[in-house]
Structure 1
Amino acid sequence: MKKTIEKEQSSRIERFLVKFTLTYFILYIYPYGFEYIYGLKTDTISVWEKITIWFGKTFIGWDLYQNSLNKGFDSKYDISRFLLIATLAILLSVLWTFINSKIKFKYDDKLKEILKVVLRYHVGFTLVLYGLAKVFMTQFGQMDINRLEGTIGDHSGMSFLWTFMSYSKFYTMTTGWVEVIGGALLLFRRTTFLGAFILFIAMVNVVIIDIGFDVSVKYFAIHLLAMVIVLLLYYKNRLLNVFVYNKIAVPEVEISLLSRSKYKKIAGYLKTILLLLFAISSYFFVEESLGYYKNNEVPSLTGVFTVNQQKINGDSLTTPNYKKWKNFSLNGSSWRIGYLSLKKGDESDNLFSFKADTIKKELKLYRDGDTTAIPNLLKYKKEKRNTFVFEGIVEGDTLKLYTERKGLEDYRLMKDIKWVRDME
């Protein structure tokens, strides 16, 4: 009798937790989790902003301002929303349980499957998209002159991680493929366990890295990990038998949410359409991301140029610092190809877009990227391997610059992988 009561209490707790988990994650996903839908502006369909601001001020004592909410970046707004939806999920689950006690209707297994389907598709879509961003090297960018010239001490933890990830295409693309494969496996019932297992390992690593490097999307990663853990709980007996009890894991039959063949066929068509729409959306996301990284048309000029000697308006001695050129980089940033970044003698930073003519050996410079203005013109001549002379008129000043270039190939960090260490 005692065991029966305990079992019933345990069953009630489990049913309540399923209701709470489903409600919480649905509220969490809507609408900011729909980032895998290309072109969707989540703020236009969000109902959270005003109520979250009110909740944060009333119950936490935080003043949140609409023009600086920093949504999705470990902000006070995010924490306020998490606490709000947790509170709502508890209240709704209590109300749901009360209604169930009055209206007897058994659907516990169906509810578990609904939760499973919601998490499968949300986590699957999200991690396929983020995995593709790593596979195509758009999430962290690529190693460039600006990163190579920066010092370690100037980095935040997050920018240091971005530099670390951008260094190795092999590592970044491999982690991306793990997320793509794991996410894709979640989209099918028969491979859900394998996908969840792969993504559990991947997301534990992501969460540790995000915390360790103070990445500003820690809560986002933690929520994804929590969703994966919930999916793995559906297979807890199999996991315990294999990893703890050293027993044979009995094969499990994946239960379909729909029982009638007619409904299954309709669901199959809808799933095909859904996956097709997701594939189209992913294509546009990748294409847009790749658009930030234009092709480098002048790799031979890419680098940082140190000005060793200069004549400005025919004078090399009395030129004021605000006119002197200290150094400049061409294509210094991988996501700003076609730009010249100049540091002058007074440490001021100046930015020009440029168009190169490698036949005439000249650069047309436009201040702050304004290509409608009359261009400044610099002709260049390569004297030695990394020695260049630039000559022309920039913003009314006649320049002659003797420079030394340092390109990507000149940095030790950019050397190729060595499979045999003692061979040159």
Structure 2
Amino acid sequence: MQQEAPAWSTFGRISFRIAFIYFLLFFNPFASLFVYPLAPLVSFLNSHLFHIRPELNMNGGGSGDTSFDWALVFTYGILAVGGAFVWTLLDRKRKHYSELNYWLCLILRYMLAAVSFNYGIWKVFALQMTFPSLSQLATPLGDYLPMRFSWMFIGYGGPYQIFSGVAEVLVALLLVWRRTALLGALLAVGVFANVVMLNFSYDIPVKIKSSHLLVLSLFLVWQERKRLFAFFIQNKEVLPSPVFERPLTEKWQKNLRISLKLLFFVLYFGSQVFLSFNAWGERQASSKRVLQPIEPGIYHVELFVKNGDTIPESLANSERWKDVVFDYNGEGSMAARDTSFFMSYGRAYFGYQPDSTGKQLEIRAFRQRIANFSMDLSKSDRMILNGSKGEDSLHVVLQKLDRHFPLADRQFHWISEWAQ
């Protein structure tokens, strides 16, 4: 006969109710479906209580730290406290929630494992952060925002990215096994503490999600606080813990648990590995693809004639092209302030495509043709473009520079005695 679990303190029961509601609101797989139904409540609470901004922004362009996201987190907190209050009134005589806590930890373990594996496997294949492109190397360091700067330094250090990805994958694998769940949670604390510090230090807009993943990891470790304190601080022997374990007596229960775990491995872990491997293969196939006859590199704009007028090179003239980068894979950028292109960190980005004869060049932006030129490549390291951009006629002479970036060499030295 299974022994009755000891009674919890009043604070323990109330804090569990709050945590139970909050975690299920934030981490449930269908959380995104509840956002829009909750939007009126979030806006109401923001107008009368939070005052984050007069108008909440739900579309952050990929940011997870929008004003609406912060208001939503605060709303979840209010709902959790309010729900716990009602729960307390209706369930005052309950002595503990050991069984419910087991199921909560089980759900959160698999949620944390899924997120950690998703991020980790992309890093293992070095897909999340990429090596700086030629256009990025040509951009002055001071023009970058902290997030892009951090993305490039991790993308530059491929082994570091793979190392961090292996750690995140290991977290996932340890969490799904009951006997290693505590070790997985401890490793998760270290992994996500590092992620949180990166996000806050470099203003990466995943602060809310990463902080919650760290709190979730600490919550799982907290389940074993007494054993950890006894083992590491008091130097005492500890017994196996039942927190993440539930003995199953029936054979069908054991078979069901094994089947569900295998299904999770195949459907989620397997699909993530498959998608990551395919993405890695596609990137390898397109890596350093040269669009002949254009030779990738940095080109200085020697002459820029617009509508018959020669525009001299000047720092004050932001519309004149100063340099043009033809990168690999039909991507490029120029040092110019031209909003008809995609502007990023002080450079105008575009896509280019020479025709089959190598005599015509099409410049595209936002999936539309922006300019069309005839190309003259008769002289070595020189490109002469004649054509039009919108209603303007352009005559541009480009001189390829012998520009070398030491950073692009992926330098590494066992012995370092001098550095410039």
For normalisation by structure 1, the TM-score amounts to: 0.78
Alignment deviations for residues 390-422 of structure 1 (CA, whole Å, 9 cap, x no partner): 13423254544333143xxx2122232122336
Alignment deviations for residues 150-176 of structure 1 (CA, whole Å, 9 cap, x no partner): 333222222222222122111111111
Deviation at 1:341, TM superposition (A): 2.0
Aligned to 1:134: 123
Distance 1:246 1:128, change over 3 A: same
Aligned to 2:401: 404
Distance 1:377 1:181, change over 3 A: farther
Alignment deviations for residues 168-227 of structure 1 (CA, whole Å, 9 cap, x no partner): 111111111111111221122122112111111111111122222222221211110010
Deviation at 1:132, TM superposition (A): 2.0
Deviation at 1:114, TM superposition (A): 1.0
Q: 2:98 & 2:81 partners in 1: Cα distance?
A: 20
Q: 1:78 aligns with which of 53, 69, 90?
A: 69
Distance 1:319 1:19, change over 3 A: same
Alignment deviations for residues 102-152 of structure 1 (CA, whole Å, 9 cap, x no partner): 6x6x77221111121111011110011111232233323321223222333
Q: 1:288 & 1:51 partners in 2: Cα distance?
A: 42
Q: 2:35 & 2:275 partners in 1: Cα distance?
A: 20
Q: 1:107 & 1:259 partners in 2: Cα distance?
A: 23
Q: Is the 8 A contact 1:132 1:180 kept in 2?
A: yes
Q: 1:157 aligns with which of 146, 150, 159?
A: 146
Q: Matches of residues 247-326 of structure 1 in structure 2 within 5 Å? A: 247-252=236-241, 254-256=244-246, 260-279=250-269, 281-283=271-273, 286=276, 294-298=286-290, 301-307=295-301, 309-310=302-303, 319-321=310-312, 325-326=321-322
- The question of 1:208 aligning with 2:209 is answered no
Give aligned pairs, total: 392
Q: Is the 8 A contact 1:351 1:367 kept in 2?
A: no
Aligned to 1:39: none
Deviation at 1:46, TM superposition (A): 4.7
Q: 1:378 & 1:144 partners in 2: Cα distance?
A: 24
Aligned to 1:23: 21
Q: 2:80 & 2:371 partners in 1: Cα distance?
A: 61
Q: Matches of residues 8-19 of structure 1 in structure 2 within 5 Å? A: 11-19=9-17
Q: 1:366 & 1:166 partners in 2: Cα distance?
A: 28
Q: 1:352 & 1:28 partners in 2: Cα distance?
A: 39
Aligned to 2:224: 235
- The question of 1:342 aligning with 2:342 is answered no
Q: 1:149 & 1:16 partners in 2: Cα distance?
A: 57
Deviation at 1:277, TM superposition (A): 2.1
Q: Which amino acid aligns with 1:420?
A: I
Q: 2:161 & 2:96 partners in 1: Cα distance?
A: 43
Deviation at 1:92, TM superposition (A): 1.8
Q: 2:120 & 2:276 partners in 1: Cα distance?
A: 11
RMSD: 3.7
- The question of 1:99 aligning with 2:90 is answered yes
Deviation at 1:25, TM superposition (A): 0.4
**Local SS of the residue matching 2:193:** helix
**Local SS of the residue matching 1:176:** helix
Aligned to 2:415: 420
- The question of 1:364 aligning with 2:357 is answered no
Q: 1:393 aligns with which of 386, 394, 403?
A: 386
Q: Is the 8 A contact 2:129 2:151 kept in 1?
A: yes
**Local SS of the residue matching 1:101:** coil
Q: 1:270 & 1:346 partners in 2: Cα distance?
A: 55
Q: 2:230 & 2:147 partners in 1: Cα distance?
A: 39
- The question of 1:61 aligning with 2:61 is answered no
Distance 1:171 1:207, change over 3 A: same
Distance 1:398 1:160, change over 3 A: closer
Q: 1:72 & 1:257 partners in 2: Cα distance?
A: 43
Q: Is the 8 A contact 2:340 2:365 kept in 1?
A: no
Q: 2:161 & 2:116 partners in 1: Cα distance?
A: 14
Distance 1:348 1:19, change over 3 A: closer
**Local SS of the residue matching 1:364:** strand
Task: Tell me which moved more, 217-226 or 339-348.
Answer: 339-348
Alignment deviations for residues 223-246 of structure 1 (CA, whole Å, 9 cap, x no partner): 100100111112223322333223
Percent identity over the alignment is: 22
Aligned to 2:344: none
Q: Is the 8 A contact 2:125 2:277 kept in 1?
A: no
Aligned to 2:3: none
Q: 1:149 & 1:297 partners in 2: Cα distance?
A: 19
Deviation at 1:56, TM superposition (A): 1.3
Aligned to 2:327: 331
Q: 2:208 & 2:321 partners in 1: Cα distance?
A: 45
**Local SS of the residue matching 1:301:** coil
For normalisation by structure 2, the TM-score amounts to: 0.79
Q: Which amino acid aligns with 1:199?
A: A
Deviation at 1:32, TM superposition (A): 7.0
Q: Is the 8 A contact 2:122 2:128 kept in 1?
A: yes
**Local SS of the residue matching 1:143:** coil
Q: 2:182 aligns with which of 185, 193, 205?
A: 193
